[in-house]
Chain A
Amino acid sequence: MSHTVQVVLPAHLRALAKVHGDVSVEVVGVVTQRAVLDALEADFPVLVGTIRDRTTAQRRAFVRFFACAEDLSHEEPDTPLPEQVASGHEPFLVVGAMAGG
C-alpha cells in the first residue's frame, strides 16, 4: 500500500534541495522514519548524508524528528510513525536542533 507523507524540512535543507515549502514523498508499505527518509533521499539525493549518516543511517546529532507534537528522535527507525502521518493529515518534521548561544 502506498502512502503520501508530508515532510517539513528546515530552511537550510529546503535551499539545498531547491524546494519551497513542504515536500510530499510516496512511501510503500509501513510508514516508518527509515521508510520516509529513504523515500526523501531517493527523491532528493542531495540530502543523503545531511539528515542521517550515510553509512550507519544514524540520525545526525543536531537533527530531530517531530510529528503530532511528539519528539520521535529517539524512536527506533523501523517503528511505525503515527497514523496521522501515514494518512497525510500530519507532517513529519525534520528539525535542526537548538544549538549555540
Chain B
Amino acid sequence: MSLSVNGEGMDAMGGTRVLVATRKGAFILTSDEERATWEVDGPLFPGWEIYHLKASPVDSDRIYLSQTSGWFGQVIQRSDDGGKTWEAVGNDFSYDGVPGEHQWYDGTLRPWAFTRVWHLEPSLHDAETVYAGVEDAALFKSTDGGLHWAELSGLRRHETGPQWQPGAGGMCLHTILEHPTDPDLLYVAISAAGAFRTSDGGLTWQPINRGLRSAEIPDQDSEVGHCVHNLDLHPSHPDVLYMQKHWDVMRSKDAGETWQEVSGNLPSDFGFPITVHAHEPETVYVVPITSDSLHFPPDGKLRVYRSRTGGDDWEALTQGLPQEDCYVNVLRDAMAVDRHSSCGVYFGTSGGQVYASRDSGDSWAAIVRDLPAVLSVEVQTLR
C-alpha cells in the first residue's frame, strides 16, 4: 500500500499512470513526471467492454475496473498492485426491493433493470469504499473493496424517479463527485434525469437542476429531465460545480442550487466531458462537439477549449491536435488531469487516440493512436 498526500496516491517509483478503458479492453500507460515517453500495457481483459477504471486516491496501488459484456454481463475487477494482477470481486448489483418503473423513450413505463456499471468512484477518504454508478440509473456503494455492493436507494426512490428517462446511451448514472472534506456530501448525474445532491451519505437526495434549459423537454423549469453529460469541481472550491450538459456549459457557485450558462464563445456548446485544472480552480476544459446528431468536432478540427475564468471566455487549444479531417468523439469520462506541478491534461477519442498535454493544454501529443474506441481516461500522479 502506498501513502497519500493531498488526495493523490504516492509511491516510491514516481511518475504518471494513465488508465484507459476501451470497447475491447483496458490499457495502462505509464511515464515519469516528464511525461515525454510512455509505455503501453494491454489490452487487459481483451474483448470485453471496459467502461471505466479508476484508482483509489487513498491507495494508489488499488484500482477498480468495470468489465462488461452484452453476452456475459457485469464483472468488477480489483487490483491491489497498481494493475499488475487483478481479482474479480462482487458483481451483485441487485436493486433494493422492488425496483419500480421509469419512463421509456416512447413515454411508456418500463421496469428498472440493471445493465452495467458505467462509473466507479473510489472514495477520497477510505480505500475500501467505492461507489458505482449503474444503468438503469442507481448508485451503489461498497465498503469492503468491492466485494459486496448495496444500493443507496434513496436516489432511485426519489419522487421524481418514475419521470426519469434514458438518454441515447441508456439511463445511466455516469458521474459521481465526492466532497473533498465531507464524505456524506455527494453529487451525481444521470442521463437524462439531471444532477442530484445528497448531504446525508445517500439516504436522501435533492435534484439540483434549477437554471438548466433543455429544448428537448417541454417544461423548462422541470425539476428533472435534463441530460447532464458530466460534472466536475476543484477540491479547493467544492461549492463551485461545472457541468457539460447535452447542450450548454454551465456553472454553479452554490453547490448546484442555481446554475448559470457559461458557454460564452465556444464554437458549439454540445459536448461530453468537462474537467477542472489540478491547481487553478477557475481553469476548465471542454471538447466541443458539433451537435447531438453529429458526434464529431466542428469543422473536422479537434480542439480542446480552455477557460481561465470559470467559463464564458474560452480559447481554442490546437497545437499538436489534428486540425483537418478529424471526425472522432470524446466521451464524458474520457478526459482527466494529473497533479504534477505543470498540470497534465489527457483525453481519449472514439478513434482510439489518447492525447496528452504536459503544459496545461498549450501543446498536445498522442501517447498512442490506434487503440479501440476509448470510453474513459483517468490519471494517477505518482511521486
Contacts and interface: CB of A to CB of B under 8 A. Distances in A.
A12 B74 contact: no
A67 interface: no
Given A46-B88, A54-B92, A13 B75 contact: no
Contacts of B91: 48-49
B72 A60 contact: yes
Contacts of A12: 47-48, 69, 71-72
B73 interface: yes
Q: Is chain B's interface secondary structure helix, strand, loop, or mixed overall?
A: loop
B75 to A, nearest CB: 6
Contacts of B70: 62, 99
Given A12-B47, A46-B88, A99 B71 contact: yes
Interface residues of A, number: 19
Given A12-B47, A12-B48, A50 B92 contact: no
Nearest to A95: B71
A16 B88 contact: yes
Contacts of B74: 49
Contacts, number: 39
A10 B72 CA distance: 10
A63 B92 contact: no
Nearest to A46: B88
Contacts of B69: 12
Interface in B24-82: 45, 47-48, 69-75
18 contacts: A12-B47, A12-B69, A12-B71, A12-B72, A13-B72, A16-B88, A46-B75, A48-B92, A49-B91, A49-B92, A50-B72, A50-B73, A51-B72, A55-B94, A60-B72, A62-B70, A96-B71, A99-B70
Interface of B: 45, 47-48, 69-75, 88, 91-92, 94
Shortest 4 CB-CB contacts between residues of A and residues of B: A50-B72, A62-B71, A46-B88, A96-B71
Given A16-B88, A96-B71, A99-B70, 20 more contacts: A12-B48, A12-B69, A12-B71, A13-B72, A16-B72, A16-B75, A46-B75, A46-B88, A49-B73, A49-B91, A49-B92, A50-B73, A51-B72, A54-B94, A55-B94, A62-B70, A62-B71, A63-B71, A96-B72, A97-B71
